[in-house]
Amino acid sequence: MGRNPVTWLGSPTFPRAARTALGDTQLRTNLRKATTTIRAKRARAVAELADWERLRRAGEAIKNDVLANLDTYLVRLEEAVTARGGVVHWARDAEEANRIVFDLARAKGADEVVKVKSMATAEIGLNEYLRARGVRPVETDLAELIVQLGNDRPSHILVPAIHRNRSEIKEIFSRAMAEPPDSDDPRVLAEAARRHLRRRFLSAKVAVSGANFAVADTGSVVVVESEGNGRMCLTLPETLITVMGIEKLVPTWRDLEVFLQLLPRSSTAERMNPYTSVWTGVTPGDGPGEFHLVLLDNGRTATLADEVGRQALRCIRCSACLNVCPVYERTGGQAYGSVYPGPIGAILAPQLAGDMTDKQAASLPYASSLCGACYEVCPVRINIPEALTHLRARAVEARPKHTAEALAMSSAGWVFRDPRRYEAAQRAGSLSRFLAGSDGTIKRLPWPGSKWTSTRDVPAVPKESFRMWWRRNRG
């Protein structure tokens, strides 16, 4: 098995990438505006529903049920999709999933496939795989198109081109389009994208999508979007291939009543996104005549096996946690060096990559201040701080055992593993100020901290922990 492409090859560790990103003022301005805007809108959208907390608990419980009975539900989904004329494929890893999609596209004689924005296909590096074999993948989501035409990487789950401003986008379009836009007005740019893609939608033979949800009982697949490019891909081409992580199931149709309320309000802060499409197998005379569903493992079963880490599989990719994260707001998504940025990326990407000896992956659980804001907004109540501290401990355990630092850190790992212990330690840490010299650093800590201070100075813990500061200022 090759390297799992969920983290980008050659990316620097998070602290190094973050330092570079912090120097980019344009990026920080764009991000700040974006996250502040979405944060405020989201709070309003959520406040409208008096039963929001109960919906969150239901969402959490439904996903826990899915994870506990994943085998049963997957088999049920397979039966239902097959009964309605769809074909189900299983893929252990990225390579296997890519090959299935490529073989299907080639069997249709397609040298181009239109794509709906999808985290799963980004995670497996499908575009690169297809391109290397002579099939052109065309991203049809406006932001993804900007990223693709700019030979760039996405920086946000929801608004992948948030790091680009209008004049940059105009330039990217002008270089790549037959009919370049004549102004940088967003309206004109969107119109240029519409013209650029329309011909492709009308002529594409094969489309590739992800899925937001699939209903085990009925075999129905759900895609949530705004622009209509999703509907184009799901409706017009003769063949539709959907690549879906095995955790994206819900047991019954009824369960969607929970997620169709949680997702749009958490994500785009709308009461409902402009378009949601639901299809079950094939419907003769309406939409694709052929439907393939690829069920993707790619590190998910390994993640499932980790009792603390598995909660990351509840994620519905709403990106609410990105927009509240003080670290993300300053570094942007690309610093995470992975398809999944922000707090969820910090816990999901290293688990899917499945290699804690990889320095970059192992640095991700440290990309956080543990302020807890992500946990508070998460519509499925993923305790991200808990998972972060747990994964920090795992990262430490994966390091070579004999270094002094590893020894000290593995006891630090015990503290990090539990947010309550961590906060207690931080409060106790304020005591350490008394131990600090006049330059504010502590020269020696008692064992096991001494193992660490023997190689470096430790900055004294500030009076107020970051978590406390955050709660006071933002919470």
Partner 1 sequence: MDSARSDILARIRAVPRRQPAPVPRDYDTARSVEDPVGLFVERVEDYRAVVRRVSEDELPQRIGDCLARRGVSNMVAPPDLPESWRWAGTRWSLDEPPLSLSEVDSADGVLTGAAVAIAETGTIVLDAGARQGRRMLTLVPDYHLCVVRADQIEVSVPEALRRLDPTRPLTFVSGPSATSDIELDRVEGVHGPRTLEVLVVDI
By CB under 6 A, name the binding residues for ligand SF4.
266, 315-321, 344, 377-380, 382
Instruction: Classify 327 as helix, strand or coil.
Output: helix
* 318 binding partner (options partner 1, ligand SF4, none; Cβ < 5 to 8 Å by kind): ligand SF4
Candidates 39, 84, 108, 205: give the one binding partner 1 (CB under 8 A).
84
Site pattern 88..127 for partner 1 (x: CB under 8 A): -xxxx---x-------------------------------
Pick 219 or 365: Cβ nearer ligand SF4: 365
| Shortest reach from residue 156's CB to ligand SF4, in Å | 11
* 261 binding partner (options partner 1, ligand SF4, none; Cβ < 5 to 8 Å by kind): partner 1
* 46 binding partner (options ligand SF4, partner 1, none; Cβ < 5 to 8 Å by kind): none
Could you say whether residue 258 binds partner 1 (CB under 8 A)?
yes
Could you say whether residue 361 binds partner 1 (CB under 8 A)?
no
| Shortest reach from residue 143's CB to partner 1, in Å | 4
CB 405 within 8 A of CB 413: no
Relative to beta strand 458-459, strand 441-442 is antiparallel
Site pattern 238..257 for partner 1 (x: CB under 8 A): --------x------xxxxx
DSSP state of 138: E
* 410 binding partner (options partner 1, ligand SF4, none; Cβ < 5 to 8 Å by kind): none
Could you say whether residue 71 binds partner 1 (CB under 8 A)?
yes
Query: What are the strands, taking DSSP E only, across 210-308?
Result: 213-215, 220-225, 239-245, 249-250, 275-280, 290-296
3-state helix, strand, coil in the chain (%, to 5): 55, 10, 35
DSSP string, 405-472: HHHHHHHHHHHHTSHHHHHHHHHHHTTHHHH--TTSEES--STTHHHHHTTS-EEPPPSS-HHHHHHH
Could you say whether residue 302 binds partner 1 (CB under 8 A)?
yes
Q: How many residues bind partner 1 (CB under 8 A)?
A: 94
Residues 6+ apart with CB under 8 A from 396: 406, 409, 410, 412, 413
* 169 binding partner (options ligand SF4, partner 1, none; Cβ < 5 to 8 Å by kind): partner 1
Q: Which two tokens stand for residue 402?
A: 């004999």
Pick 4 or 383: Cβ nearer ligand SF4: 383
Candidates 146, 312, 373, 393: give the one binding partner 1 (CB under 8 A).
146
Binding segment for partner 1 among 186-194, 331-339, 356-364, 403-411 (CB under 8 A)?
Answer: 186-194
Pick 132 or 190: Cβ nearer partner 1: 190
CB 59 within 8 A of CB 381: yes
Instruction: Classify 191 as helix, strand or coil.
Output: helix
Amino acid at the residue 234: L
What's the CA gap between 252 and 235, in Å, rounded?
24
Q: Can you say whether residue 362 is alpha, beta or left, with left for phi > 0 and alpha for psi between -120 and 50 degrees?
A: alpha
What's the CA gap between 382 and 386, in Å, rounded?
9
What's the CA gap between 288 and 166, in Å, rounded?
35
Q: Which two tokens stand for residue 348?
A: 């999901």
* Closest alpha carbon to 265 in 213, 214, 316: 316
Binding segment for partner 1 among 87-95, 346-354, 385-393, 436-444 (CB under 8 A)?
Answer: 87-95
Could you say whether residue 412 binds partner 1 (CB under 8 A)?
no
Could you say whether residue 431 binds partner 1 (CB under 8 A)?
no
What's the CA gap between 151 and 145, in Å, rounded?
10
Between residue 282 and residue 301, which ones bind partner 1 under the rule CB under 8 A? 283, 285-287, 295, 297, 301
* 344 binding partner (options ligand SF4, partner 1, none; Cβ < 5 to 8 Å by kind): ligand SF4
Task: Kindly report the length of the chain.
Answer: 475
| Shortest reach from residue 346's CB to ligand SF4, in Å | 10
Instruction: Classify 474 as helix, strand or coil.
Output: coil
Candidates 212, 229, 267, 334: give the one binding partner 1 (CB under 8 A).
229
* Closest alpha carbon to 353 in 345, 80, 70: 345
Cβ-based burial of 2 (10 A; exposed 0-12, middle 13-18, buried ≥19)? exposed
Between residue 149 and residue 168, which ones bind partner 1 under the rule CB under 8 A? 159-162, 165-166
Binding segment for partner 1 among 27-35, 337-345, 381-389, 400-408 (CB under 8 A)?
Answer: 27-35
| Shortest reach from residue 185's CB to ligand SF4, in Å | 31
* 186 binding partner (options ligand SF4, partner 1, none; Cβ < 5 to 8 Å by kind): partner 1
| Shortest reach from residue 429's CB to ligand SF4, in Å | 28
CB 74 within 8 A of CB 295: yes
* 245 binding partner (options partner 1, ligand SF4, none; Cβ < 5 to 8 Å by kind): none
Candidates 68, 132, 424, 428: give the one binding partner 1 (CB under 8 A).
68
